[in-house]
Amino acid sequence: MLRFVNYSTHFGVSEQFVVILQFDYKNPKDMAQKEDVFKKIVSHAKEYGFVFPSSEIYDGLGAVYDYGQNGVELKNNIKRYWWEAMTLLHENIVGIDSAVFMHPTIWKASGHVDAFNDPLIDNRDSKKRYRADVLIEDEIAKIDDKIDKEIAKARKRFGDSFDEAMFRQTNPRVLEHQAKRDALHARFEKAMNANDLAELKQIIVDQEIADPISGTRNWTDVRQFNLMFKTQMGSSSDSTMDVYLRPETAQGIFVNFLNVQKTGRMRIPFGIAQIGKAFRNEIVARQFIFRMREFEQMEMQFFVRPGEELRWFEYWKEHRLRWHKALGLGDEKYRFHDHEKLAHYANAATDIEFQMPFGFKEVEGIHSRTNFDLSQHEKFSGKKIQYFDPELNQSYTPFVIETSIGVDRMFLSVLCSSYEEQVLEGGDSRVVLHLPKVLAPVKCAILPLVRKDGMPEKAHEIMQMLKFDFACQYDEKDSVGKRYRRHDAIGTPYCITVDGQTVEDNTVTLRDRDTMQQVRVAIDELPAIIGRECSLNTLLRKLS
Ligand code: ATP
């Protein structure tokens, strides 16, 4: 895709540009480049200190990643946005930080010991292990891709007069694909609902699904695999007990329900929010930080009166989508995916999906969990877990709406949608991360044009003024053009250049990352200009 944008020249740095890498996900040609661009994003993340493979000098550890100097800042900013949107904007939501280790009976009560399983299958030739449900879902996605391609071709042929709904209803090839897809989906759903492992295997056989590595169909039977990591607690052999690394943070909230409600004098409806690590022994870990074995969740459990849960479910659905969209990554990149198959304890559930380079994928789940968890903990602990409602003058077990978002998936969606390659006038190029300014790891770079004539001193003075409010970086190495490129690559919204004129009249040039436009402003104006775009307050105000 070609798009001419802006123009500005300063300090001999010519910055007219053409966008060369931007994706129209409906265009098959662009789709063919999706994998390539994803690889580029992964290597960019490493090269610029966002995400490193864990234990890299020992050849890494599967599906475990470390966040580098820029990654941790971006991640903290995402967490702060979520935390403040929950706890500052809602008087009736408070936070906690519960331990990773919990009493093992908690996981019996929650159902994780017996049912937190994935169906796994091995290929005897490649010795690789797969999730049987994912193999089948991929097969369904392939049919969806075929339908999308037919539609994209027709759209190109018919131009503005193209009627997609009509085409879907009448085109014989689309109808044929759709019928196959529906039949496969119905069979798959039935097998999953019935926990029928033999049928899942049979679907894989009937669809002639081959191992992507060996290319063979030499599959084992499908078996269940529990995703929880287990370890021992205690030092002597008779006092040790098996404990689990928590696979979700939510249970830490449920078992503290009474503590928080009583000590915080909370009245229903109210919520408890938590950010913390979770661990799952995922069978197939792929797509970078999308599916990890150690990851971080931001979860909020909202406790309501029985019978009012579906109204609150709708409230949180709408509210959470607004939180995502306020970041400005593109409204069209989000969609809801309502669950057809509900967990036995849920009476409504939806995912917020984001358009990653590898398709629409779940970033957040919103679930109406009834009173299942609190009732289970009441049963297993033998302690009464009820709320006395003074307005109704009665006690009950509250119902719960849960919002659960993965920090790492959120990070990935921000990173993927921000990455862009541009060719500049004169053949130079740049990679720029158009991160939402408020999330950027560094808000402004302070650059003395040269290392003399009082410019470094002046730059340090500006740094001293700004650093209490904004993450700033002082950078005097290399030409100013190279410094711009370095900061474009990590998504720094503003570069402040100190030159000869600054020393005379206390003005600087302020360069915008996205437009590359430079304006001359007084040093005194900097806090207000940067604050307008980069402060979390501005973003939070959009939500309330
Ligand atoms: P999936 O179907 O993709 O395995 P899930 O439905 O099991 O996800 P939940 O149990 O609802 O996920 O967890 C809530 C959120 O936690 C997810 O929306 C996702 O953002 C995040 N999450 C879950 N598993 C992982 C993982 N292995 N790696 C990174 N994030 C994860």
Instruction: Please provide the size of the chain in residues.
Output: 544
CB of residue 398 inside a 6 A radius of ligand 1: no
Q: Which residue has the higher pLDDT, 428 or 143?
A: 143
Confidence of residue 499 (pLDDT cuts 50, 70, 90): very high
- 352 forms beta bridges with 336, 364
Mention the CATH class of domain 436-543: alpha beta
Q: Is the CB of 364 under 6 A from ligand 1?
A: yes
Write out pLDDT tens, residues 237-281: 777 899 999 999 999 999 999 999 999 999 999 999 999 999 999
What is the distance in A from the centroid of ligand 1 to the CA of 509?
44
Ligand 1 pocket, residue 10 CB under 6 Å: no
Strands 270-279 and 93-95: parallel
Query: What is the SS3 assignment for 352-383?
Result: EEEEECCEEEEEEEEEECCCHHHHHHHHHHCC
269 lines ligand 1 (CB under 6 A): no
Instruction: Indicate if ligand 1 lies below 6 Å from the C-beta of 404.
Output: yes
Q: Using a 6 Å cutoff on CB, does residue 279 contact ligand 1?
A: no
Q: Whose CA is nearest to atom 14 of ligand 1?
A: 404
Cα 406 to ligand 1 centre (Å): 6
Residue 506 has pLDDT above 90, yes or no: yes
Phi, psi of 415 (to 5 degrees): -65, -50
Across the range 209-226, mean pLDDT stands at: 95
Whole-number mean pLDDT of the chain?
92
- Can you give the pTM of this predicted structure? 0.88
Query: How far does residue 229's CA lie from ligand 1's centre (Å)?
Result: 16
| pLDDT, mean of residues 472-501 | 97
365 pocket-lining for ligand 1 (C-beta < 6 Å): yes
- Sequence ranges of the chain with CATH classification 3.30.930.10: 61-104+227-417
| Neighbouring-strand partners of residue 296 | 277
C-alpha 292 to ligand 1 mean position (Å) = 9
Q: Is there an atom of ligand 1 within 6 Å of 402 CB?
A: no
Q: Which of 192, 404, 414 to mutate to test the pocket of ligand 1 (most atoms within 8 A of CB)?
A: 404
- Whether the pLDDT of residue 437 is over 90: the answer is yes
How far apart CA 226 and CA 228 sit, in angstroms, is 6
Is 36:21 a contact under the CB 8 Å cutoff? no
Atom nearest to 282 CA in ligand 1: 27
Residue-level pLDDT at 26? 46
CATH of 61-104+227-417, one of 3.40.50.12780, 2.60.120.20, 3.30.930.10, 2.60.40.730: 3.30.930.10
pLDDT for 30 equals 58
Task: Please list the residue range(s) of the chain that carry CATH number 3.40.50.800.
Answer: 436-543
Residue (of 301, 315, 277) closest to 372 by Cα position: 301
Which sign, positive or negative, has the C-alpha torsion 269, 272, 334, 148?
negative
Per-residue pLDDT tens over the stretch 22-73: 554 445 455 556 778 999 999 999 999 999 999 999 999 999 999 999 999 9
Closest CA to 273 of 250, 238, 299: 299
Question: What is the residue with the minimal CA distance to atom 25 of ligand 1?
Answer: 291
Predicted confidence at residue 99, as pLDDT, reads 98
